[in-house]
């Protein structure tokens, strides 16, 4: 079996890190790696793959809606597509793409050699990856989940959703929750405890700050949906009555538990993007971030308020005037810290010597689109207005302006900004700018008409519409825009492949960035920093004090000892997915096999020393 | 889980605290939200079962008071175990670790007896909302106690093989954090489920 192979390899004295800071190759070295940069790359590749899958699902939806009374996609498949589009984009594309940046960038920004718990980090990735495959495997077993990404009870009960579709969704999300909580705990400890000398909290780069805030949101928000999912799983598998109204069960309990998670989840998606923008704008304006403490505290305040607004997703259930008023007011409050951030970015740009390179363009696009999405968000915060908009395309337009126009634009800014560090090669500016402008136009063409469609009453999650309702022209525009969005993504892929093949060498600091990740070579050596760095300011690479002058001279010390590879995180993750498969198949032997593998993995892990390579 | 993770990357601690201890505290924060959500579920469904048996028909407060006392005493044993290991007195350390695990097991045995008794009296997961929410909430707590007992027994066997020494006192301390947390949760559950019936 594979594990004994690894042990044998170690006994033979094989090291995963040959001298010179390079890596061993081969599939095995990737499966057993505990290196934060490799794990970050695996997150990025799998997240981008699922971004394409979710995008394809969206394109099918748009093609179906391109003309009235279209019969290309039947209602059953349509339900699966919008459910999986939402689930995939939120849990399998945007969150892991943020996690890719957490992994690759945060340890570099705080001057650390790795995260605090490298094997736990590998475990998080493998649980995410296998869990993502698990949810999508439902397409092969009688159809994908089809009750919406919010899975409202009691549409998800066995009575209304027989079969295993919802079981895949419930168990898949439980698996992904394990991954998210493990990763978030790891990053909380890493950022609190592994900062290099001189890096006080108020000297941390904004992206690291927002990673910390997001990690706290993750560990506090995921348990709520975990409990909701467990209640639903018990209802479906063991016949409990939690969401059975005839037995006194309350279907609103699901909505509360889901949105106590679901609204913080919005900020889990958004805050890393805000952090990236706060990194990139100063570098391309040649100015330190304006009002750094305000930007930090606004991020914390957004996260804090984010826990107190969940019921604004539930205005239409009739919680009563007092609850609606309180949640309306709390929701409006969030506009304040968000506005503070936007003003700080504009003030950073103001009077800066701007370099309009692709990363900055995406940031500017982000600010503009995010303001539009924010404004429609403030419209929703008013309960009476929201009642008109609930379940219409207006909400679809809003969510895409914040999550696509906001978060995805910022993630692309981050990709263009950090890919030179990750690959050591520059991306093409020409293709990058083409990508940006096409995406900006296509995005607005796709989603702006949806505001108007929504105000005219077009409902969400309905597989078609009648011809005489006046929806045709705007739906056709939206569909054309979505195809252009797909084309703009192809330009990015082409740019990326071209970069990997023949991109110009990036050098350590191609953008003249100010944070520690730019002080080491691109791509970084596996140990990151040969000696622990020390910082004396927020922008150490811009500091006039020459004691911060980097790159650090090569000292006499040898290579730092790095943690050795391990099979156990992967094995434990496989055990979890086996257990889940046993749950779907209702097969007790498979469940026990899964538990056995988990126990084997955990004990092997606990008793395997971290530096177990023979020297 | 692992005793070597944090020293692994050989990096200093910016706060002066061991990384593993911060990890356990953050995990406990997350667990608070988990138990909080389960407790809310139980409280929301209190008194909403439309068929019996109802809590007042079944809950045996004197019996659970005894097992609660046993669980709280196990926390005392845990404190003694940590103290002994920190002093390097592994003989007593082993004894107290085993005692903690044993008292935890007695609590679990009490829970198994209670569950079996309730099923005999006609209360299952499917009977009513009380059955579902009671078994899920106390069962989740019982699962946490079970993990704790396995963890403590693992530490005990490590100690008997000489693999747990004064140098690993932090490992025992972290297991202790978990154990005390699980006990504190039970105090809340005991109050809300049994005393406020």
**pLDDT at residue A293 above 60?**
yes
User: Is A265 in the active site?
Assistant: yes
- Which of B1, B11, B154 faces A112 most closely, judged by CB atoms? B11
Strand partners, A197: A534
User: Is A236 in the active site?
Assistant: no
Mean pLDDT confidence for A559-574: 89
**pLDDT at residue A144 above 80?**
yes
C-beta separation of A395 from A454 below 8 A = yes
CB contact under 8 A, A185 and B26: yes
Mean pLDDT confidence for B80-107: 96
Q: How far is B148 from A411, CA to CA, in rounded Å?
A: 41
pLDDT band at B13 (very low <50, low <70, confident <90, very high): confident
Q: How far is A317 from A152, CA to CA, in rounded Å?
A: 12
Helix (H) or strand (E) holding B32: helix B19-44
pLDDT in the model for residue A13: 36
pLDDT in the model for residue A611: 65
Mean pLDDT of chain A: 92
- Report in angstroms the alpha-carbon separations of B79 from A322, A405, B31, B151: 48, 54, 22, 16
**pLDDT at residue A129 above 70?**
yes
Share of chain A above pLDDT 90, in %: 87
Closest-CA residue of A relative to B1 is A606
Of A190-194, A528-532, B94-98, B116-120, the one with minimum mean pLDDT is A528-532
Closest-CA residue of B relative to A200 is B14
pLDDT in the model for residue B10: 44
**pLDDT at residue A12 above 50?**
no
Handedness of CA A88, A581, B149, B121 (dihedral sign): positive
C-beta separation of A358 from A429 below 8 A = yes
CB contact under 8 A, B37 and A611: no
For residue A560, list chain B residues with Cβ-Cβ distance below 8 A: 10
pLDDT in the model for residue A550: 54
**pLDDT at residue A615 above 50?**
no
CB contact under 8 A, B7 and A610: yes
Closest-CA residue of B relative to A605 is B2
**pLDDT at residue B73 above 90?**
yes
CB contact under 8 A, B12 and A247: no
pLDDT in the model for residue A609: 79
The secondary structure of residue A91, as a DSSP letter, is: I
- Report in angstroms the alpha-carbon separations of B32 from A224, A320, A407, B74: 10, 29, 30, 21
**pLDDT at residue A147 above 70?**
yes
Mean pLDDT confidence for A292-315: 95
CB contact under 8 A, A562 and B36: no
- Most A CBs within 10 A among B3, B7, B8, hence the mutation to make, goes to B8
Q: How far does the CA of residue A198 sit from the closest CA of chain B (Å)?
A: 9
pLDDT in the model for residue B144: 98
pLDDT in the model for residue A19: 41
pLDDT 10s digits, A335-354: 999 999 999 999 999 999 99
pLDDT in the model for residue A419: 96
Q: How far is A264 from A303, CA to CA, in rounded Å?
A: 7
Q: How far is B28 from B6, CA to CA, in rounded Å?
A: 18
- Most B CBs within 10 A among A186, A191, A223, A260, hence the mutation to make, goes to A223
Q: How far does the CA of residue A238 sit from the closest CA of chain B (Å)?
A: 7
**pLDDT at residue A5 above 90?**
no
Mean pLDDT confidence for A439-452: 97
pTM: 0.93
Nearest CA among B82, B48, B42, B51 for reference residue B176: B82
pLDDT 10s digits, A526-561: 889 888 899 999 999 998 555 545 555 555 556 677
Mean pLDDT confidence for B133-141: 97
- Most B CBs within 10 A among A157, A180, A189, hence the mutation to make, goes to A189
User: Is A312 in the active site?
Assistant: yes
Long-range contacts of A53-56 (CB under 8 A, 24+ apart): A53/A88, A53/A92, A53/A136, A54/A84, A54/A85, A54/A88, A54/A89, A54/A92, A54/A93, A55/A485, A55/A486, A55/A489
Which residue reads 């930090």 in tokens? Answer: A296
For residue A199, list chain B residues with Cβ-Cβ distance below 8 A: 14
pLDDT in the model for residue A561: 75
User: Is A278 in the active site?
Assistant: yes
Quote the longest CA-to-CA distance of chain A: 78
pLDDT 10s digits, A29-57: 999 999 999 999 999 999 999 999 999 99
Mean pLDDT confidence for A221-226: 97
- Which of B23, B50, B131 faces A189 most closely, judged by CB atoms? B23
pLDDT band at A26 (very low <50, low <70, confident <90, very high): confident
Q: For the CA atoms of A398, A402, A406, A408, what is the dihedral angle to 10 degrees?
A: -90
Mean pLDDT confidence for A309-338: 94
- Which of B17, B125, B154 faces A193 most closely, judged by CB atoms? B17
Q: How far does the CA of residue B28 sit from the closest CA of chain A (Å)?
A: 10
pLDDT in the model for residue A15: 38
CB contact under 8 A, B136 and A240: yes
Q: Which ranges constitute the DSSP H helices of A390-428?
A: 393-402, 409-423
- Residue in A211, A338, A482, A514 annotated catalytic: A338
Q: Which structure tokens are listed for B193?
A: 């489920």
pLDDT band at A255 (very low <50, low <70, confident <90, very high): very high
ipTM: 0.93
**DSSP secondary structure letters along A173-234:** HHHHHHHHHHHHHHHHHHHHH-PPBT--GGGS-HHHHHHHHHHHHHHHHHHHHHHHHHHHHH
Q: How far does the CA of residue A607 sit from the closest CA of chain B (Å)?
A: 7
**pLDDT at residue A175 above 50?**
yes
- Which of B1, B41, B131 faces A602 most closely, judged by CB atoms? B1
C-beta separation of B93 from B81 below 8 A = yes
Q: How far is A93 from A222, CA to CA, in rounded Å?
A: 17
CB contact under 8 A, B9 and A605: no
Share of chain A above pLDDT 70, in %: 93
Closest-CA residue of A relative to B125 is A240
pLDDT in the model for residue A3: 40
User: Is A267 in the active site?
Assistant: yes
Residue A146: CB atoms within 10 Å = 24
- Report in angstroms the alpha-carbon separations of A256 from A104, A252, A308, A379: 35, 6, 12, 22
Strand partners, A505: A425
pLDDT band at A8 (very low <50, low <70, confident <90, very high): very low
Q: How far does the CA of residue A528 sit from the closest CA of chain B (Å)?
A: 12
Nearest CA among A477, A553, A555, A560 for reference residue A525: A560
Quote the strand ranges of A460-543, DSSP E: none
CB contact under 8 A, A241 and B31: no
CB contact under 8 A, A186 and B23: yes
């Amino acid at each position: 079996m594979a594990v004994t192979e690894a042990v044998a390899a170690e006994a033979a004295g094989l090291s995963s890190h040959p001298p010179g800071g390079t890596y061993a190759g081969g599939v095995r070295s990737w499966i057993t790696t505990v290196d934060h940069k490799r794990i970050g790359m695996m997150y990025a590749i799998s997240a981008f793959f699922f971004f394409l899958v979710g995008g394809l699902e969206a394109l099918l939806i748009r093609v179906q809606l391109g003309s009235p009374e279209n019969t290309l996609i039947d209602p059953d498949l349509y339900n699966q597509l919008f459910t999986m589009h939402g689930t995939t984009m939120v849990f399998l594309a945007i969150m892991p793409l943020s996690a890719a940046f957490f992994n690759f960038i945060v340890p570099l920004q705080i001057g650390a050699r790795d995260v605090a718990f490298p094997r736990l980090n590998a475990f998080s990735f493998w649980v995410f990856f296998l869990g993502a495959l698990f949810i999508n495997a439902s397409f092969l077993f009688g159809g994908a989940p089809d009750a919406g990404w919010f899975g409202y009870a009691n549409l998800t009960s066995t009575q209304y959703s027989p079969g295993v579709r919802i079981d895949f969704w419930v168990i898949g999300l439980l698996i992904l929750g394990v991954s998210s909580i493990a990763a978030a705990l790891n990053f909380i400890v890493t950022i609190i405890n592994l900062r290099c000398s001189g890096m006080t909290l108020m000297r941390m780069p904004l992206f690291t700050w927002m990673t910390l805030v997001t990690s706290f949101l993750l560990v506090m928000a995921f348990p709520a949906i975990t409990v909701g999912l467990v209640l639903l799983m018990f209802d479906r598998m063991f016949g409990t009555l939690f969401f059975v109204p005839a037995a006194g069960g309350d279907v609103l309990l699901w909505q509360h538990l889901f949105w106590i998670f679901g609204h913080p989840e919005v900020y889990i998606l958004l805050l890393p993007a805000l952090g990236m923008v706060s990194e990139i704008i100063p570098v391309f304006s040649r100015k330190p971030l304006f009002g750094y403490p305000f930007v930090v505290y606004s991020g914390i305040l957004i996260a804090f308020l984010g826990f107190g607004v969940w019921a604004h997703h539930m205005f239409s259930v009739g919680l009563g005037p007092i609850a609606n008023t309180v949640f309306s007011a709390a929701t409006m409050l969030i506009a304040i810290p968000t506005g503070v951030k936007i003003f700080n970015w504009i003030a950073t740009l103001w009077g800066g010597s701007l370099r309009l390179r692709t990363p900055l363009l995406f940031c500017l696009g982000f600010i503009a689109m995010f303001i539009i999405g924010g404004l429609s968000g403030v419209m929703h915060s008013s309960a009476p207005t929201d009642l008109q908009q609930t379940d219409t395309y207006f909400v679809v337009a809003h969510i895409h302006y914040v999550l696509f126009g906001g978060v995805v634009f910022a993630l692309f800014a981050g990709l263009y900004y950090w890919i030179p560090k990750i690959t050591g090669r520059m991306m093409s500016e020409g293709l990058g700018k083409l990508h940006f402008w096409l995406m900006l136009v296509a995005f607005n063409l796709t989603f702006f008409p949806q505001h108007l469609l929504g105000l005219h009453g077009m409902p969400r999650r309905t597989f078609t519409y009648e011809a005489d309702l006046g929806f045709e022209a705007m739906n056709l525009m939206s569909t054309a825009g979505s195809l252009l969005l797909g084309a703009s993504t192809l330009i990015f892929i082409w740019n990326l492949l071209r970069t990997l093949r023949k991109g110009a060498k990036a050098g350590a600091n191609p953008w003249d960035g100010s944070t520690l990740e730019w002080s080491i070579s691109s791509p970084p050596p596996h140990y990151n920093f040969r000696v622990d760095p020390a910082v004396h300011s927020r922008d150490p690479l811009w500091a006039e004090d020459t004691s911060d002058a980097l790159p650090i001279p090569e000292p006499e010390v040898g290579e730092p000892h790095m943690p050795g590879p391990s099979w156990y995180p992967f094995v434990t993750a496989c055990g979890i997915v086996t257990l889940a498969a046993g749950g779907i198949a209702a097969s007790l032997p498979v469940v026990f096999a899964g538990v056995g593998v988990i126990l084997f993995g955990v004990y092997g892990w606990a008793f395997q020393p971290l530096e177990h390579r023979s020297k | 889980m692992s005793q070597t993770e944090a020293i692994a990357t050989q990096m200093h601690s910016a706060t002066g605290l061991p990384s593993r201890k911060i990890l356990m505290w953050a995990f406990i924060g997350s667990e608070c939200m988990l138990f909080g959500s389960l407790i809310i579920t139980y409280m929301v469904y209190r008194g909403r079962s439309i068929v019996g048996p109802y809590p007042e028909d079944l809950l045996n407060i004197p019996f659970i008071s005894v097992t609660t006392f046993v669980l709280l005493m196990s926390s005392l044993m845990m404190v003694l175990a940590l103290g002994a290991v920190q002093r390097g007195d592994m003989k007593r350390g082993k004894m107290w670790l085993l005692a903690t695990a044993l008292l935890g097991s007695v609590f679990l045995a009490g829970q198994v007896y209670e569950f079996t008794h309730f099923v005999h009296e006609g209360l299952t997961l499917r009977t009513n909302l009380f059955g579902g929410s009671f078994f899920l909430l106390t069962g989740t707590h019982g699962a946490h106690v079970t993990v704790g007992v396995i963890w403590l027994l693992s530490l005990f066997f490590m100690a008997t093989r000489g693999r747990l020494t004064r140098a690993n006192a932090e490992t025992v301390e972290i297991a202790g954090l978990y154990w005390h947390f699980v006990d504190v949760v039970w105090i809340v559950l005991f109050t809300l489920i049994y005393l406020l019936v």
